Structure 1
Amino acid sequence: MIFGIAALVPALFFVVGVIRDRRRLGNAVWLGVTLVFLVLWLVFRASVNGGWSAVIVGYALAAVLLCLGFVLPAALVANGVLMLRREGFGLANLLSLLAGLAIFGVVAAFGFATAHTGPVVDAVIGSLLIVAAYVAFLFVSLLLYSIVYGSIGRRTGFDAIVVLGAGLIGDRVPPLLAARLDRALHLYHREVAAGRTPLLVVSGGQGPDEEVSEAAAMRDYLRRRDVPDELIVLEDRATTTEQNLAYSAELLADRGWTGRAVAVTNNFHVFRAAVLARRLRLRMQIIGAPTAWYFLPSAFLREFAALLTHNPIVHTVTCGLLVGLHLLLTLTP
């Protein structure tokens, strides 16, 4: 009962947070805390009731642990190898491989601790597991809330559609960026059908290995699909997501635009772009475009790492306090 009641508090904060602003990072944390208490409530109820409910919950927990400890890291390693083969060598493409190996490392450390108990071993391995559990909690919370954020919100009634840039191949639009443009075109045609003529802002500067700016290539892509040139606004300075949003908003403001805007990116990038839009105080919704399945694990891991950098002091202090409490309890006679 106590866990069920405890779950109501973070659930209330979650609902209020979503109503006030769906783009708050805290919403993801409150969602995660709610789910933790609900799981604890379910386990407690099953242990009290006994019978088939306890057996089912026991098998479910065993299956989850098996997936987390072996199936998930194996899948991440396999995905990492696939990423290297299809996308080339690079730190961003190594993330799923490194994450899989890290999980195997945590499992191995836990196995070592069970075979070699002692105050020092318990302190070191326990600290490692606490940090791993904290990171896993944040990742799952942000992943789930990213899905929630991408599933709710307005889908029509936009006066401007901002397309966030991505890398080019020479002067060609690659599939990742094409997905964003196709999603923007879908929104554009839906608004036109409803009697509106939204502006299309294409945002992206020119990288060192690109023959033209991303914005220029995106403009040509839209022109070939019969979007009138006067409805396309070029923003060709931005090199980061934050600049994409800020510079695009400046261009719209310079044109005297005061309507409702939406920014289009890939689905894995939606929530971080929304957090940045909130930080910039922009009244802008973010909508995602589909991404190739094999690209998603590394992409979500990259987004997660970027979101962690938004509050590094908070995460460092929290981990420090948890580990410090563990060491105090473990090493104190």
Structure 2
Amino acid sequence: MLFGILAGIAGLVFLVRVVREPRRMSNAVWFGILLFFGGLWAAWELGQYGYGMIVVLLGLLALLIGLVLPFALLANGVIMLRRESFRPANLLSLLTGLTTIGLLGFTVIFGWRLERPAQLVLMAVILAFGYFAFLFVSLLAYSIVYGSLSSRGRVDAIVVLGSGLIGDRVPPLLAARIERGLALYRRDRAAGGEPVLVVSGGQGPGETTTEAAAMRDYLLAREVPAEHIVLEDRARTTEENLRFSSALVTPARPGARIVAVTNNYHVFRTAVLSYQLKLRMRVVGSRTALYFLPSAFIREFVALLMQYRITTAVGALAVVGMPSLGVFLLATA
């Protein structure tokens, strides 16, 4: 009963906050709390009919966390190295898998043999790992929820964020964004709306033209009228994409309903950034190759933690410090 009440409170707080502003980082945390207490409540209710089902579910969960997920991350890391360049960002899924396997293996094999101080350190490490795992799952789950919410409703301007060219050619990652924006444009035009497509991106290293110009040519080749395309060809970062594009749209269309288009793994961080910039804007995502998603989501997770590094650090200290201090005091009493 207690877990049900806590889940209800978390769900109410979550719904109120999402209705008021869906782009806040804290929404993801509240969604994670809702899932946590909701899961405990479901397990408790199942326990009323016998504990066999709970044992089976916990066993499956332990198998997923301890074996399936880490080795899946390792396999994905190998695929990333084969298909993408050797860069730190492309090693994230591999390193996460190795870290998870190493921590679980060390805990099972050596944890019970350690002296008391070392056990306290190990407990602190496990708590920290659990804290960041909770944040990651919360952000991943809420980013899916946000993506489904933000794709609804008509728009006045569709901002397609640039993501790099190969010379003057639009690569698949950027093409997916353009096609998603084009689908929104055609949908609203068919419904009687008059949205414009804002293509945003300057010229980066190794590029022979601006991303905006290449995206405009891509759209013209798909029979989008030139007068429906707005160029923003100065931006070099996501923040500049959002600010410069909004500055082009809002003077001509005050109160315009703007939606930004990026890849699905990048949606929530872009939404949080638009909220921090105080821009009236929704963000939707385009599809990304499945093999690319794990490392991409981990990279976005790390970037969000860095944006909220003080809050993240305070939370980690509370989660790790308070239980560790309690165990230490009991051990020395």
Q: TM-score, normalised by structure 2?
A: 0.95
- Structure 1 distance, partners of 2:53, 2:165, is 51
Q: Is the 8 A contact 2:216 2:229 kept in 1?
A: yes
Aligned counterpart for 2:54 among listed residues 57, 67, 71: 57
Aligned residue number for residue 37 of structure 2:
37
Over residues 163-218 of structure 1, what are the superposed CA-to-partner deviations in whole Å (9 max), with x where a residue is unaligned? 01101111111111100101111111112212233111111111112221111111
Letter of the 2:221 partner, please give it.
Answer: R
Aligned residue number for residue 291 of structure 1:
288
SS at match of 1:197: coil
Aligned residue number for residue 310 of structure 2:
313
CA distance change for structure 1 residues 61 and 228 in 2, over 3 Å: closer, same or farther?
same
Aligned residue number for residue 12 of structure 2:
12
Q: How does 1:79-90 map to 2 (within 5 A)?
A: 79-90=76-87
Aligned residue number for residue 24 of structure 2:
24
SS at match of 2:256: coil
Aligned counterpart for 1:100 among listed residues 94, 97, 102: 97
Aligned residue number for residue 235 of structure 1:
232
Letter of the 2:99 partner, please give it.
Answer: A
Gaps of 5+ in 2: none
Q: Is the 8 A contact 1:131 1:319 kept in 2?
A: yes
Aligned counterpart for 1:302 among listed residues 299, 303, 322: 299
Report the CA distance between 1:66 and its aligned residue: 1.1
- Structure 1 distance, partners of 2:167, 2:180, is 22
Letter of the 1:42 partner, please give it.
Answer: A
Letter of the 2:149 partner, please give it.
Answer: I
Q: TM-score, normalised by structure 1?
A: 0.95
Report the CA distance between 1:36 and its aligned residue: 1.1
Gaps of 5+ in 1: none
- Structure 2 distance, partners of 1:56, 1:114, is 29
Q: Is the 8 A contact 1:119 1:330 kept in 2?
A: no
Report the CA distance between 1:331 and its aligned residue: 2.6
CA distance change for structure 1 residues 231 and 13 in 2, over 3 Å: closer, same or farther?
same
Letter of the 2:30 partner, please give it.
Answer: W
- Structure 2 distance, partners of 1:95, 1:25, is 22
Over residues 247-266 of structure 1, what are the superposed CA-to-partner deviations in whole Å (9 max), with x where a residue is unaligned? 10011134355321111111
Letter of the 1:121 partner, please give it.
Answer: A
Report the CA distance between 1:131 and its aligned residue: 0.5
- Structure 2 distance, partners of 1:191, 1:249, is 19
Report the CA distance between 1:242 and its aligned residue: 1.3
RMSD: 1.6
Q: Are 1:143 and 2:123 an aligned pair?
A: no
- Structure 1 distance, partners of 2:88, 2:212, is 26
Aligned counterpart for 2:173 among listed residues 176, 184, 201: 176
Q: Percent identity?
A: 53
> After the TM superposition, which of the residue ranges 36-45 and 89-98 deviates more from structure 2?
36-45
- Structure 2 distance, partners of 1:61, 1:84, is 34
Q: Is the 8 A contact 2:259 2:281 kept in 1?
A: yes
Letter of the 1:30 partner, please give it.
Answer: W
Letter of the 1:3 partner, please give it.
Answer: F
Q: Are 1:261 and 2:258 an aligned pair?
A: yes
Aligned counterpart for 1:164 among listed residues 147, 161, 165: 161
SS at match of 2:285: strand
